[in-house]
Each structure stands twice: as C-alpha cells, then as structure tokens.
Amino acid sequence: MQLININKSRYSKHLKIVFASIAVALLAITLVTSTLIIQLFGTEGESHFWFNLSGLAIAATTVVFILTKFRHHPFMLEVVYVWDLKQILNKIHRKQKKIESQLEEAKIKQDQHNAMIIMNFQYRGSKQLYELDDNTITMAELNSKIKQLDKRMLAAGLSLSTDAFDVEMLDRF
C-alpha cells in the first residue's frame, strides 16, 4: 500500500455519509425483516428475541454485501483508503516490538533497513491519520520519532519515501 494525499474535508464528509447510511440501512432492514419474520413465524405471547436477532443478522449481512460491492466506487475512495491504512498500521503495531528490536540489534543490514522502512511507513501513515481525524494530542512525540528515524535512514542511505514499503515485509518479523 502506498500513502496518498486525500482531501480532509471530502474524507470527513464521505465518512459521515457512509456511517449515517449504514446506521439507517441497519435500522430499516432490521425493522422490516424482523417484522416480516415475526408475522410469518411468530406466535402471540412468546418472546421475539430470536426473530429480532435474525432480522439484525440479515441486515448486517446485507449492509456488508452492499459495502463490498461499492468498495471500489469513487465515492468510497477516501473511506476505504483510511480503513485499509488502519488495518495495515494495526498489523505493524502487533509486530512493533520485534521490528523495533531489529532497528537496534539487527545482525543482517537488510533486516535493519526493512525495519526502518516499516517504521517510516507507520510513523508517516499514523501522522496522516492523526491529521485526518484531528487527533493532534501526540503529534509532537510522533514528529520527534519521525525526525530521529529520518536521520537514521539518511545515514543508512535509504529514501525517506514510503514507496519502498510492502506489506509482505512484515512476514519477516
């Protein structure tokens, strides 16, 4: 995955529309299907919990199916990009201790370079997410980490671009 610049206001607007649409669709489909299931199979005086739960399951399945179908629609570009970026950053975070240990103790120079490339992607991707979500609480600390890593990468002769990152690099850690 490559980091791309996205329009913050467009992302925010589309995210709100997508989440509102999901909420409305879940509510409407659940009510309709639950009511229909209760009318067809329910009896008066008994609990309709399982029928309502079935309606919710049908609604959730329908919404996931629709989101999957529209995933590549231009309207969804920013929302899907951020969702994918968060998933990759989560994968990196789960292996972060091993990656950071390779930054310091790598016996093979390529392992150290890969660790720097991965951390560079994580730091810059996190910075982009923080800016998109107006989460600037830890931005100073993140910028400090970016500057330290930039110095190490330049000293190692590596590019500061995130283009060298590939998700498969995580398999080595």
**What percent of the chain shows pLDDT beyond 90?**
69
Listed residues 46, 76, 106: the one ending a domain? 76
Sequence-distant (6+) residues with CB within 8 A of 47 are none
Both 167 and 108 in a single domain?
A: yes
The token duo for 48 is 């309709």
* pLDDT band for position 103 (cuts 50, 70, 90): confident
Same domain, 68 and 107: no
Q: Give the per-residue pLDDT at 40.
A: 92
Into how many domains does the chain fold?
2
The residue among 76, 103, 128 that closes a domain is: 76
User: Is 99 found in the same domain as 51?
Assistant: no
Q: Evaluate whether residue 101 is within a structural domain.
A: yes
3-state percent breakdown (helix, strand, coil) of the chain, nearest 5: 75, 0, 25
Does any domain span residue 84?
Answer: no
> Do residue 104 and residue 157 come from a single domain?
yes
- Residue-wise pLDDT for 77-93, tens only, equals 999 999 999 999 999 99
Q: State which residues form the domain around 24.
A: 8-76
Domain assignment present for 86: no
User: Is a pLDDT exceeding 70 seen at residue 130?
Assistant: yes
Rounded to two decimals, the pTM is 0.83
Interior/surface letters 46-78, b for 16+ CB within 10 angstroms, e for the rest = eebeebbebbbebbeeebeeebeeeeeeeeebb
The residue whose two tokens read 């950053």 is: 89
**Do 21 and 59 lie in a common domain?**
yes
The answer for 45, left when phi > 0, alpha when psi is -120 to 50, beta otherwise, is left
Are 104 and 161 part of one and the same domain?
A: yes
Instruction: Please state, for a pLDDT cut of 70, what percent of the chain lies above it.
Output: 98
Q: Which of 16-25, 57-66, 86-95, 96-105 has the lowest mean pLDDT?
A: 96-105
What tens digit of pLDDT does each residue of 107-127 get?
Answer: 667 778 889 999 999 999 999
How far is residue 65 from each of residues 22, 69, 81, 105, 121, measured CA to CA in Å? Answer: 12, 6, 18, 46, 31
Q: What is the pLDDT of residues 24-63, one digit of tens each?
A: 999 999 999 999 999 999 888 889 999 999 999 999 999 9
Q: CB of 34 within 8 A of CB of 55?
A: yes
